[in-house]
Structure formats: structure tokens, C-alpha cells
Amino acid sequence: MTALRLDHAALLDLVEAAYDSETSGRAWVSELLKHGARVPPGARTSTWFEYTWSDRPDGLALDACSSDYVRGPDAAKKTWLEARRGLDPRILARLFGRTAAGTASQLGARGVAPASVPGWRAMWREPVVDSLGLVSAGPDGRGMCLSIGLSSLASLGRRETALLERVAVHLGSAHRLR
């Protein structure tokens, strides 16, 4: 597992794009995807998920998915929802019930390659081995996740995680403002 480097200028561009009140709808999400894919140098993809979270056993619903890199919203939704079925509810709460940032291999499976989750490889048009997620859930359970596809397993240090969690707070705030 390699340490993930971040492009700080791309992070600033991402936050600026999130608060852009002139751009709306799909164009706004497209800007976030464009800037998100620049955050870690060499990233392969970026995908925007909107979801609703609750503490119930089946309390995670995917409301929207935007990406040019998944095989389509239905494939992404099916894979995303199937992947979460095998996860401990405490991990789901840690992933989607609050603000979080990290790689899928760090946050979810503790070092297990997300690509080994059934359906992961089928979801992507090109090889994505791990992903960097910026997640923010509001008090009403509605949340967003910017998932950035990576070509290898990666991890974040404490400083990078703290920085990305602050960026996730901004993405969530901008999303709620819309």
C-alpha cells in the first residue's frame, strides 16, 4: 500500500467549484468531478454519489450517481448497494453516517482491496483498484460522496486525512446549500 500524495491546488479548485453559485445541476457536478480527478496525481476517475443514510439495517439508499467512468448509473447503484450489504453496520455508519475521508481500503475493509468486492470491477470502465472518498452526511441523513478512482491500493496519513475531512465538510455544506 502506497502513501497517497495530494495536489493542494486541485483541492482549492475543488472547494471553489463547490461553492460556485453560478453553475447548476449537471454542470456543477461535472466541475466537481473534473477537479476531484486532479486531487491525487494519477487518479483514474471521479464519481459523485448522493445518498440517504439511516441507522436501520437496510438504511442506505443511493439517490443519484454521476460519472463518466462507471458503466452507467444502474451498474454503479447496483454495485455500490451490493458492496455495502457485506459490510458490518458499524463500518457503514463510519463510512456514511458522518463526515469522513480516506481510501476505501483504509476505511472499509482494513487493507483488503476493494476490487475483491463482488461487482467492483464490473462497475468501472477501466481498472480501479482503490478509491479515495470524501463523504459528508447532514443531520437529516442526506449525504454526498466524491469517490476518486485509484490504480493501486493507497493510504492517507493523519495530516492528509484531517485536510480531506475539512474539504469534505465544505463539499457537504455546498451540497446542502443547493
Q: How confident is the model over 85-138, as pLDDT tens digits?
A: 656 666 666 667 678 898 887 766 555 566 666 556 665 556 777 889 899 988
pLDDT band at 25 (very low <50, low <70, confident <90, very high): confident
Q: How confident is the model over 164-175, as pLDDT tens digits?
A: 999 999 999 999
Q: Cell numbers for 53, please give them.
A: 443514510
Q: Whole-model pTM?
A: 0.82
Examine the pLDDT at 80 and tell me if it is beyond 90: no
- Identify the residue with better confidence: 18 or 26: 18
104-108 contacts: CB < 8 A, separation 24 or more?
104/130, 104/131, 104/132, 104/133, 104/147, 105/1, 105/130, 105/153, 105/154, 105/155, 106/155, 106/156, 107/133
d(Cα 50, Cα 147) in Å, to the nearest integer?
11
Rg of the chain over all Cα atoms, to the nearest angstrom: 15
d(Cα 32, Cα 13) in Å, to the nearest integer?
9
pLDDT on residue 94: 65
24-28, 31-35, 70-74, 149-153 — most confident range: 31-35
pLDDT on residue 7: 95
14-23, 42-51, 146-155 — most confident range: 14-23
pLDDT on residue 57: 62
pLDDT band at 32 (very low <50, low <70, confident <90, very high): very high
List, in order, residues 6 or more apart from 158 with CB less than 8 Å away.
none
